[in-house]
Amino acid sequence: MIDLLDRLARVAGNDRNALGLNPVQWEALRFFARANRFSRNPSGLRQYLGVTKGTVSQTIIALENKGLLKKVPDPRDRRGVEVRLTAAGKKLLVDDPLNRWRADLSALPAAERRSLEGALEGLLKAALNNRERQPFGFCRDCVHFSKHHEAGEPHFCALLEAPLSNDDSQLICREQTPA
């Protein structure tokens, strides 16, 4: 099984240098597209990828220089920044090399796909847990997520005491604790 995963990772690796971005730059672009406002910052990316501060800062600078990311002041932290995709960054993601994998996966029977997804999710969770790393799961699946909460519009985060939109609920978060 692990040999299969290793081979799959190698095949995926062959697809990972595309359209002028290296693999870490692609991962960063995907992360900033999927992360919520509490997580789309340099330290969120560092936690997510498990890489050094230097790698994160070089990666963000390279993507800014390519016009794919921009930094804006973080409204919740005077010294912090939020990192967002530019229109060009969003456009490039449409040609994400991982789309080839999405197409291969969608060719599998639905039941097989669901069972594969469940197994891989479980394996990833265990691997991250054993390494004391954050899962970065979906907001909607978090223990702190309060659906249609009276104090939120329309949802609410009980941990960060912040309202959450429907779009927020579909994003990943560094503080997520599986329900």
Interacting residues toward ligand SF4 by CB under 6 A: 36, 38, 139, 142, 144-145, 157, 159-160, 173, 175-176
Residues 6 or more apart whose CB falls under 8 angstroms from that of 166 comprise 154, 155
Residue 15 or 175 with smaller CB distance to ligand SF4: 175
Residue 42 or 63 with smaller CB distance to ligand SF4: 42
Work out how close the CB of 82 gets to ligand SF4 at its nearest, in angstroms, rounded to a whole number.
14
35 contacts 173 by C-beta, under 8 angstroms: yes
As given in the structure block, the two tokens for residue 32 are 């900033």
Residue 56 or 173 with smaller CB distance to ligand SF4: 173
Q: What's the Cα-to-Cα distance from 44 to each of 67, 82, 131, 153, rounded to whole Å?
A: 21, 10, 17, 25
Work out how close the CB of 73 gets to ligand SF4 at its nearest, in angstroms, rounded to a whole number.
20
Cα gap 84→32, rounded to integer Å: 6
Strand 77-85 with 155-157, pairing: unpaired
Burial of 82 (0-12, 13-18, 19+ CB in 10 A): buried
Residue 92 or 173 with smaller CB distance to ligand SF4: 173
Residue 52 or 165 with smaller CB distance to ligand SF4: 165
Work out how close the CB of 56 gets to ligand SF4 at its nearest, in angstroms, rounded to a whole number.
20
Work out how close the CB of 141 gets to ligand SF4 at its nearest, in angstroms, rounded to a whole number.
8
